[in-house]
Amino acid sequence: MIGGRWARRFALGALAGGAGAGWWWAMTRRNAALVRPPVRDATGEALPVGLFEYSDGETVEYIDAGSGAALVWVPGADGPKETFRYQLASFANRYRVICADLRREFSTDAGFDRLVDDVVELLDARGVRRCVLIGTSLGSAISMRFANRFPERLRGVVLCNPLARVSYEHVGLNRSALVPLAMATTRYLPTRLSRDLARYWSRLGVWIFDDSPGRDALIEYALFTGPRTVPPSVSDRRVSRLRRIDLRSGLGDVTVPALVVKGPRDVYCPVDWALEIVELLPDAEYVSIPRTGHCSHISRPGAFNESLEEWLRRLEARDEGTPAPDPTNPRKPDGGDA
């Protein structure tokens, strides 16, 4: 009798485990089959996409569009160039915009500078001598390191919701526990349910989500462009390179003009981190994108683009020898409006 009960429990457990594994397999296959929506211009035409092979054989997709001074964009840990879909087509009207996916694979001895070397190789191949480098999240760390190593290649650097090191000590246990749950529900549930739960995560400000007016655009990014299309192991592989170093010690040597753009509701890369980076950089300005979190360029692209355009105009004036100070953008800010 006792043996029969244990056999039934074992059978039920095996059945539940098999069903869970089957579900995970089906959702993983669904995610692998997703095709990211292309970046389109105002007429609906997709910006052209090319393939580029790095010196170690890794191949990535890239966009190179428009003409004029070069703006080079560096994505965050998820890695897709389409994270800048609201910027690339818009800025291509006046500038040359270049953006590549982050690499997926690393050699066993590759460190964080491998991601920096990727940017150099792409610029060399596309014939870009100097540019403005614009990085978000992990891409901001790549941009800071690039500015430290190759200042002669830069006119300026833009750091969006930046981090110079990896740390979760400031987050707190309860919120930290919600992150893997938000990741799992986004990646492995049916789309309708994932979308509904993402609205809940947005209200709580969990992970990449925020409760800004553009939260639905951020949710669609998570479902069809970013986290669902990138296995967690790939993002972790990229972030692990930054875990080995702390970039703050080199920021005082960065002499190029910098703009730090911050979403004040970003819990995971907090405002204090951005303010510290502004203080350490010799020539930096700060701008807050109110009511946004970690992905300001997606949740409020209009405000983000306007702030970037204003800074680029001031940078051009400086390049021409006629600096135009901006009294609304103080050198040492207080953190901005949440």
From 5, 278, 293, 253, select the one nearest 136 (Cα to Cα): 293
Would you tell me the crossing angle of helices 113-125 and 138-149 to the nearest 10 degrees?
Answer: 70
Fold of 49-168+242-319: Rossmann fold (3.40.50)
User: At residue 331, does pLDDT exceed 50?
Assistant: no
Name beta bridge partners: 288: 262
Q: What is the 3-state secondary structure (H, E, C) of 218-262?
A: HHHHHHHCCHHHCCHHHHHHHHHHHHCCCHHHHHHHCCCCEEEEE
Distance CA(157)–CA(155), nearest Å, equals 7
The tokens for 259 are 């703009």
Distance CA(218)–CA(208), nearest Å, equals 8
Mean pLDDT along residues 27-37: 92
Distance CA(322)–CA(209), nearest Å, equals 40
Mean pLDDT along residues 116-128: 98
The model carries a pTM of 0.90
User: At residue 321, does pLDDT exceed 80?
Assistant: no
Mean pLDDT along residues 64-77: 97
- Proportion of the chain above pLDDT 70, given as a percent: 88
Mean pLDDT along residues 322-331: 50
Asked if 142 and 103 touch (Cβ cutoff 8 Å), the reply is no
| Confidence at residue 311, expressed as pLDDT on a 0 to 100 scale | 98
From 103, 36, 96, select the one nearest 63 (Cα to Cα): 96
Per residue in 228-280, pLDDT (tens digit) is 999 999 999 999 999 999 999 999 999 999 999 999 999 889 999 999 999 99
Name beta bridge partners: 260: 159, 286
| Confidence at residue 267, expressed as pLDDT on a 0 to 100 scale | 87
* Structure letter (DSSP) for residue 337: -
- Residue 330 binned pLDDT confidence (cut-offs 50, 70, 90): very low
Mean pLDDT along residues 287-315: 97
Domain boundaries in the chain?
A: 49-168+242-319, 173-232
Considering Cα of 223, then 225, then 231, then 233, what sign does the dihedral take? Answer: negative
**Phi, psi dihedrals of residue 200, rounded to the nearest 5°:** -70, -45
Distance CA(83)–CA(226), nearest Å, equals 7
Asked if 260 and 286 touch (Cβ cutoff 8 Å), the reply is yes
